[in-house]
A and B are shown apart, each in its own frame.
Chain A
Amino acid sequence: MSSPVESPKDPSPLTLERRLAPHVDGAWAEDFVLELRLLGVAGDRIGAALTEVESHCADSSEGAPDAFGDAVTYARSLDLPVDDDESPRAVLRALAPTAVQLAGMFILSWSFGPALSGGPLEITVGHLAGAIVAALAIAMVVRVADPALRLLVRHPVRAGFLLWAWLVAVTGACVAALLLLDAPLWRIGAAWGVAAGAGLLAAGAAWAYADIRADRGLADPITSPLGPLPPSTSRRGRLLESPAFATLTATAVIPAGTLGLLALTLALHATTT
């Protein structure tokens, strides 16, 4: 029986790959898991494939690169079934609660200022155009998620620049639409906007919570076929893996951000009146 294969590129012993496959070169395991993730393989199948590599390496005292060759090539050669939950439609469905929360956040933040000053909320052509641009941007993200993620992993600098340029373009288009297309389409009481925004925000958070309870969220943890993995030895690892953390990020981040925006609006209103 060999000791764990060490490598200068080994990630921390606290990582999931290290706990699942202590005899496998950490960098190799990371590349292997990442490629299977990008291929859309479910977490339990990824865990089983990595555990079999671990089993072979522990028995043979061979390093994974020697016994299995390149991690990416080996991951592809397994030809594991792709999980339906990783399809663009499923990803879009899983992101829907977040999109509803974001819509609530925008409507609430747009309505809150007019509500404080007692004026009506004007829905302009720019609002509509901005919403369409944002929806198209989300659809594009879902459509090209796979090649974009591959590019981000293989060429982080180039992909990071492209992502930044894309975000600037989308934000610029939304801001330009809001500023230039200011012809009013509808005029409603700001209180209705506040109520609609708060309602959407609460509904989106409740939807996200229900998805987590029903295990329909995006989370697809890598599991061992041999039973529960030993818990992470770090406080940070335990926090990131806890169900409470997943619930908080899915249900509380956008409402908390909205509260921050409302507090800022309130402070600005107080200073100008």
Chain B
Amino acid sequence: MSSAQPWPSEWLRGVLEVCVLRVLADGETYGYAIATRLADSGLGTVKGGTLYPLLIRLESAGLVTAQWRAGDGGPGRKYYELTDHGHAELAGTADAWVRFTALTGAIIADLPTPDADVTSRPTPRPAPRTTDTTEVAR
């Protein structure tokens, strides 16, 4: 993995929405500032081609509102702001993510490595064979 993109894109796709909502929870801001904030946090480069379709989806879903403002000597920018619905969505999703990452962390930490002594573990036994009554009825 490169320094610009420290995490696999599949992971980022899953977590990007909640991260964007979290950045917006600190106050209204525009697309490039969100991307910069996420990059500075260590998430890696979030390309415009990924970020803006997500922001449009959030706007369509009523999680954010947007407003255009002319720039002072810079480009005009579209500012996004979290709605009440967005705040509620963030609270729910963030809680679920924390539990999910704790769970996956526990699974990963608990699983033995391939070098561990496999004989010390009980071998899973196959499930007892049962008669498929549906098959017999046919």
Taking Cβ atoms with an 8 Å cutoff, the residues of A that contact B are 1, 23, 48, 51-56, 58-60, 62, 67-69, 73-74, 77-80, 224-227
Q: Residue B99 at the A interface, CB < 8 A?
A: no
Are A1 and B74 in touch, CB under 8 angstroms?
A: yes
Cβ of B66 to closest chain A Cβ, rounded Å:
9
Are A78 and B76 in touch, CB under 8 angstroms?
A: no
Contacts A53-B48, A59-B32; A78 near B68 (Cβ below 8 A):
no
Are B48 and A79 in touch, CB under 8 angstroms?
A: no
Partner of A68, one of B48, B68, B75, B76: B48
Contacts A55-B32, A60-B32; A78 near B52 (Cβ below 8 A):
yes
A sample of 30 inter-chain contacts (CB < 8 A) reads A1-B74, A52-B52, A53-B48, A53-B52, A55-B30, A55-B76, A55-B77, A56-B32, A56-B35, A56-B52, A58-B74, A59-B32, A59-B74, A60-B32, A60-B48, A62-B48, A67-B47, A67-B48, A67-B49, A68-B49, A68-B52, A69-B47, A74-B49, A77-B49, A77-B53, A78-B53, A79-B53, A79-B56, A224-B76, A225-B78
Partner of A56, one of B31, B56, B70: B31
Q: Residue B57 at the A interface, CB < 8 A?
A: yes
Residue among A1, A23, A55, A69 with the highest chain B CB neighbour number at 10 A: A55
Complex Cα–Cα for A62 and B77 (A): 16
Are B76 and A226 in touch, CB under 8 angstroms?
A: yes
Are A68 and B78 in touch, CB under 8 angstroms?
A: no
Contacts A68-B47, A68-B48, A68-B49; A54 near B75 (Cβ below 8 A):
yes
Residue of B with least CB distance to A53: B48
Residue of B with least CB distance to A76: B53
Contacts A55-B31, A56-B52; A226 near B68 (Cβ below 8 A):
yes
Which residues of chain A are near B68, meaning CB under 8 Å?
48, 51, 225-226
Residue of B with least CB distance to A73: B49
Which residues of chain A are near B74, meaning CB under 8 Å?
1, 58-59
Residue of B with least CB distance to A62: B48
Which residues of chain B are near A54, meaning CB under 8 Å?
75
Besides the known contacts A56-B48, A59-B32, 13 further A-B residue pairs in the complex with CB atoms under 8 A apart? A52-B31, A52-B52, A52-B78, A59-B77, A60-B48, A67-B49, A68-B52, A69-B47, A73-B49, A74-B49, A74-B53, A225-B68, A227-B70
Cβ of B13 to closest chain A Cβ, rounded Å:
13
Cβ of A236 to closest chain B Cβ, rounded Å:
27
Which residues of chain B are near A53, meaning CB under 8 Å?
48, 52
Residue of B with least CB distance to A81: B60
The 6 A-B pairs with the shortest beta carbon distances in the complex, nearest first, are A58-B75, A226-B76, A59-B32, A67-B48, A225-B68, A68-B49
Residue among B48, B56, B74 with the highest chain A CB neighbour number at 10 A: B48
Complex Cα–Cα for A54 and B75 (A): 8
B62-101 Cβ-contact flags toward A at 8 Å (1 or 0)? 0000001011001111100000000000000000000000
Are B75 and A23 in touch, CB under 8 angstroms?
A: yes
